[in-house]
Amino acid sequence: MIKRILKTSLLLSIFVTASACAQTKKSVEAVKEIPGVEELKLPRVDLKSIKKNKDGAYILFDGSSLTGWRGYNKEHVPSKWGIENGTLKFSKNPNVDNPEGGDLVFAHDFKNFELSFEWKISEKGNSGVFFLAKEIKGQPIYISSPEFQILDNDGHPDAKMGVDGNRKSASLYDMIPAKPQNGKQAGEWNTSKIVVKGNQVQHFQNGVMVVEYSINTPEWTNLLQASKFSESKWPMAFHLLNNVGGATKSGLIGFQDHGDDVWYRNITVKVLK
């Protein structure tokens, strides 16, 4: 009897493992089948070279260096991004020759993590924080990544668009509104955190959890279908976002160039098991 149970358990284990491998292969093949999708394989950072703080979190930006950072789909830091008084700043009109914009990413693929950061936005300003992003040739970062909205809620017109405030600060952009909405006025610092563990994601703003959701689930698919990323409106984005993080369920952290001055500081990531 014991031998029969062990044999049955072994067969079940082999079946489950084979099914998981088949699902992963299917996921990879599905992405490859989307017309126009080419994921770039650009340089990555070894976290062993990045310092940790006293809480064991990696310091992605210490106020003095852009080590580990580069442009999305680029191998250098665009010149509109720089360091100003210990902050990471995107400048709309920087004092440089031939200013270059574009989104900024930290070049390491994170899977389960806690991203902490502080931000302030200019009047009528807009930006965003991305995670689990893939670098898709010729496409914007948000085609494959959820977005934690960064916004001047009082001055930017996006705050009045979308549904039920789902384009205000800390919202899952165009899908779930941040509630309570406790974003501060333009020019004031906000503290924020994004926690990703498995399929579970949480957004925090100024000490309060304001959004919680699950990715790569039927509920997630429904959220996408009700947004600007629906299958009918934007097929490529729908298929990529419906498989957030791809086969590895990991990706890049990024900050958005939306054309407005924005500042970030105290950017850390604690890797979760």
What one-character-per-residue DSSP string does 236-247 give?
HHHHHHTTTTGG
pLDDT in tens, 226-255: 999 999 999 999 999 999 999 999 999 999
Phi, psi (rounded to 5 degrees) for 154: -85, -30
Phi, psi (rounded to 5 degrees) for 11: -65, -40
**Stretch 122-151: mean pLDDT:** 98
pLDDT in tens, 2-35: 344 334 344 434 333 343 344 334 444 444 467 6
Would the pTM count as exceeding 0.75? yes
- Percent of the chain whose predicted confidence (pLDDT) is above 70: 88
Q: Which helix (H) or strand (E) holds 107?
A: strand 104-110
- Residue among 216, 238, 214, 215 nearest 226 (CA): 238
**Stretch 147-161: mean pLDDT:** 97
DSSP 183: P
- Percent of the chain whose predicted confidence (pLDDT) is above 90: 87
Provide the Cα torsion 242, 246, 252, 254; round to 10°. -20
pLDDT in tens, 46-71: 999 999 999 999 999 999 999 999 99
Instruction: Please give the pLDDT value at position 238.
Output: 98
Instruction: Please give the pLDDT value at position 36.
Output: 73
| Amino acid at site 156 | H
Instruction: Please give the pLDDT value at position 27.
Output: 41
> How far is 205 from 223, CA to CA, in rounded Å?
22
Cα–Cα distance list, 96 to 63, 99, 123 (Å):
20, 6, 23
Give the bridge partners for 150, in sequence order: 127
Instruction: Please give the pLDDT value at position 11.
Output: 40
